[in-house]
Amino acid sequence: MDSDSSLDDRLDALVAEYADALHAGKRPSRTNFLDRVPPAARPGLERVLKMLDAGLARAPSATTPLMPGLQLDHYRLEHEIGRGGMALVWLAHDTKLRRPVALKIMRPGLALEQRHVDRFRREALAVASLKHPHIVQIHGVGETANYHWLAMEYVEGPSLATVLDALPTDRPRTAEDLARATGITALAANGRSFEAALARLLAPIADALATAHGKGMIHRDIKPSNILIHRDGRAVVADFGLAKGGDDPALSLTGEGLGTPYYMSPEQAYLTGKTVDHRTDVYSLGITLYEALTGKRPFAGHNFLEVVEAIRTTLPPSIRAIARERSPDAAAVVRRAMARDPEQRYASALELREDLEALADLRTTAARRVEGGALRRALTHLRAISSGESFEYRSAATLLGLPLLHVISGARAPGQQKRVAKGWIAVGDHAYGVLMATGSFACGGLAFGGMSIGVISGGGITAGIAAIGGVAAGLFTFAGIGLGWLSTSGIAIGHAASGGIALGKYAAGGLAYGSYVMSQQHVDPEAREFFDLAFSSIGGFLHAAFGI
């Protein structure tokens, strides 16, 4: 059990204990209860205890905890099968219809606030109206002993998350691998490829989403663990509309978010200020496809905020850069489903379903026809880079551990650490590129920036073999102020210097100082011969500079 779940359990137990003390006529000290939890959890717990004091809420008794054998209405608990920040899920037996059910029980701490209870019931009733063979069905909703519960169809089979964990990572995945992990032998029929089998499995999920969207419902939490594989071969969507509300990003008593947001859409990742509509489910299903087809999640981070920032600002590599066996059609479907701009995604889950069916039948997808070739895709990326929003792209292809291309653009968010682009070609505020770098500070073979260092560099302040800038240092420099073997600048210092003010063995300028000079006051024949030769041709330049 992780630390967050353990803390939620402790909070629930403290709420029940406090409620029992009040029921017994005692006046328990809130301070004593608050001291038993970490400081970050105290504000939420104190709010709940005050509600109990004021008689504004009721809590389950500590003497009737959830345990096997406890009966809520006509559902007898057997054992816990899942949990989250909002609810616990138990396998239960329906004593009336004599069948297993999944009983989702709202956490007591949350249930004390009526807005959470109202939303729980309202969305349960709304989901119950969705009749689709690929959506987990709702059997009933109610309250027993101050426990608010929801009875759902029990799916006796693995989740897609479990299936993906069982697939190989050391070799290309096959339809036979998917058939074994799901228990659906038909997926491997007729020599079907892995991507065709996956598309066949998940096309009905897109259809289920389209049905819900048609009734104004958005899931908001599509991910592999919310797609269950029924023993009869059906993939079904679970937790429809119950995991999160439209304006409730964090619902646990501890104030923590509901899990790590690997499958959030960019508009969800902004948390506020962005409109979230049905296309957020299209995006999340696209991430699910990406993970299944590559064996990797497209976004990573060490904590909630790092993952959210990655979703907001980065463009993941194409699935074909990771899994070369994937088809151009599969890559196009994932790219369109995961477009950062909702306007560039599938307009509906129904369109995504049609493309998944085309992928399963080895037909050309609409996504591939619409996106065109590599040039059009590159232009799409350029539009993202020039949009003004934070954007990062790191190619999956690497050489000697560095990406071939790393691009960072857009302003940093307040408090965000300095972002550095590193690659063979690097573009960003701070860029280090083996071949080329462009940015406010750039270092690379070819470097262009406000301050740049490179074999050939151009910028406000530059250093390199060939340097062009306001201030330049290098073998050959062209700048307002230049320091180099051959320098042409307003102020030039070098073996051969040419400028308004020039200092060198060979110097030419308004004011020139050196062994051989050309200036308004004096023209040295050897200096004239040197500069005439240096600027007469490439051969002359090489002879003057290197004696060759």
- Amino acid identity of 334? V
Domain total of the chain: 3
A 10 A CB-CB count for 133 gives 12
Are 182 and 132 found together in one domain?
no
Are 300 and 166 found together in one domain?
yes
Confirm whether 251 is domain-assigned.
Answer: no
The per-residue DSSP string of 417-432 comes to PPPEEEEEEEESSEEE
Report the pLDDT value the prediction gives residue 255, as an integer from 0 to 100. 36
E strands, 275-331, are: 314-315
CA–CA distance, 423 with 394 (Å, rounded to integer): 8
Are 138 and 165 found together in one domain?
no
pLDDT tens for 392-401 read: 777 767 777 7
Tell me which of 112, 130, 153 is where a domain ends: 153
Distances (CA, A) of 519 to 79, 503, 515, 544: 96, 11, 12, 19
Token pair, residue 370, equals: 């619409």
Are 506 and 495 spatial neighbours (Cβ–Cβ below 8 Å)? yes
Look up the CATH number of the domain holding residue 272: 1.10.510.10
Look up the CATH number of the domain holding residue 16: 3.30.200.20
Average of pLDDT values for 224-239? 91
Are 204 and 321 found together in one domain?
yes
CA–CA distance, 37 with 11 (Å, rounded to integer): 8
Are 331 and 186 found together in one domain?
yes
Report the pLDDT value the prediction gives residue 545, as an integer from 0 to 100. 60
Least confident of 43-57, 323-337, 422-436: 43-57
Report the pLDDT value the prediction gives residue 481, as an integer from 0 to 100. 82
Are 267 and 344 found together in one domain?
yes
The per-residue DSSP string of 123-182 comes to HHHHHHT---TTBPPEEEEEEETTEEEEEEE---S-BHHHHHHHS-SSS---HHHHHHHH
CA–CA distance, 14 with 29 (Å, rounded to integer): 12
Are 287 and 360 found together in one domain?
yes
Least confident of 43-57, 97-111, 276-290, 429-443: 43-57
Instruction: Evaluate if residue 293 carries a pLDDT over 70.
Output: yes
CA dihedral 287, 292, 293, 297 (to 10 degrees): 50
Q: Which among 420, 419, 416 has a CA at the least distance from the CA of 305?
A: 416
Confirm whether 424 is domain-assigned.
Answer: no
- In 3-state terms, the chain is what percent helix, strand and coil (to 5)? 35, 30, 35
pLDDT tens for 496-525 read: 888 888 888 888 888 888 888 888 778 888
Are 350 and 217 found together in one domain?
yes
- Provide the pLDDT confidence category of residue 171 given band limits of 50, 70 and 90: very high
Least confident of 119-123, 167-171, 274-278, 367-371: 119-123
Average of pLDDT values for 115-132? 80
Instruction: Evaluate if residue 299 carries a pLDDT over 60.
Output: yes
More confident residue, 402 or 382: 402
CA dihedral 294, 308, 391, 325 (to 10 degrees): 0
Confirm whether 273 is domain-assigned.
Answer: yes
SS (H, E, C) 62-99: CCCCCCCCCEECCEEEEEEEEECCCEEEEEEEECCCCE
Are 103 and 149 spatial neighbours (Cβ–Cβ below 8 Å)? yes
Tell me which of 358, 390, 422 is where a domain ends: 390
Q: What DSSP element (H or E) covers 119?
A: helix 114-128
Report the pLDDT value the prediction gives residue 164, as an integer from 0 to 100. 96
Report the pLDDT value the prediction gives residue 276, as an integer from 0 to 100. 86
Q: What DSSP element (H or E) covers 199?
A: helix 194-214
Distances (CA, A) of 203 to 169, 222, 263, 343, 360: 24, 14, 18, 22, 9
Confirm whether 404 is domain-assigned.
Answer: no
Beta bridge partners of 456: 446, 466
Report the pLDDT value the prediction gives residue 242, as an integer from 0 to 100. 44
Are 285 and 434 found together in one domain?
no
Confirm whether 237 is domain-assigned.
Answer: no
User: Can you tell me whether residue 467 is helix, strand or coil?
Assistant: strand
Q: Catalytic annotation on 12?
A: no
CA–CA distance, 141 with 104 (Å, rounded to integer): 9
Confirm whether 501 is domain-assigned.
Answer: yes
User: Can you tell me whether residue 302 is helix, strand or coil?
Assistant: coil
Instruction: Read off φ and ψ for residue 462, nearest 5 degrees.
Output: -135, 155
Beta bridge partners of 446: 436, 456
User: Residue 445 belongs to what domain range?
Assistant: 430-546
Average of pLDDT values for 77-94? 85
Are 367 and 219 found together in one domain?
yes
Are 200 and 144 found together in one domain?
no
- Provide the pLDDT confidence category of residue 24 given band limits of 50, 70 and 90: low
Instruction: Evaluate if residue 2 carries a pLDDT over 70.
Output: no
Report the pLDDT value the prediction gives residue 172, as an integer from 0 to 100. 93
Q: Can you list the pairs that 94-100 forms with residues at least 24 positions away whose Cβ atoms lie under 8 Å?
A: 94/139, 94/151, 95/71, 99/154, 100/154, 100/156
Out of 221, 239, 429, 524, pick the active-site residue.
221
pLDDT tens for 412-454 read: 555 566 778 888 888 877 888 888 888 778 888 887 777 888 7
Report the pLDDT value the prediction gives residue 248, as an integer from 0 to 100. 38
pLDDT tens for 449-501 read: 778 887 888 777 888 787 787 788 877 787 788 887 788 878 888 888 888 88
User: Can you tell me whether residue 236 is helix, strand or coil?
Assistant: strand
Distances (CA, A) of 172 to 180, 292, 295, 348, 395: 15, 11, 10, 31, 21
Confirm whether 165 is domain-assigned.
Answer: yes
Beta bridge partners of 143: 148
Report the pLDDT value the prediction gives residue 74, as an integer from 0 to 100. 94
Tell me which of 338, 370, 390 is where a domain ends: 390
Confirm whether 421 is domain-assigned.
Answer: no
Report the pLDDT value the prediction gives residue 388, as an integer from 0 to 100. 52
Are 74 and 191 found together in one domain?
no
- pTM, two decimals, is 0.67
